[in-house]
Amino acid sequence: MTTITVRNVPDETRDLLAARAKRAGQSMQEYLRRQLIEIGAAEDQGEFWDRVEESVARHGSTLSTEDILAALDEGRR
């Protein structure tokens, strides 16, 4: 396991996080640990688009931008 130190956290932020941890029935360490695990597990936007581009490069695409936008517009109706 790795230890992470975060410096210069504003007092207001620390107090807010401590209150959230207390409401969750957790120590601040456990609360923050779980939050970091969730953040790390979530796919960010850049990772999503990298995956899309890799899939298109591997499988190709027969849809034009116009076809995609038309399908999106149709789905909104």
Q: How far apart are CA 34 and CA 25, in angstroms?
A: 13
- Shared domain check, 34 and 50: no
- Shared domain check, 29 and 51: no
**pLDDT for res 24:** 97
Residue 47 parent element (H or E):
helix 45-59
Please give the residue that has the higher pLDDT: either 77 or 23.
23
- For 28, residues 6+ apart whose C-beta sits below 8 A from its C-beta are 17, 18, 21
- Taking a C-beta distance cutoff of 8 angstroms, is the pair 68, 56 a contact? no
pLDDT tens by residue, 10-64: 999 999 999 999 999 999 999 999 999 999 999 888 988 898 889 888 888 788 8
| Domains of the chain: total | 2
**pLDDT for res 61:** 77
- Shared domain check, 50 and 35: no
**pLDDT for res 39:** 95
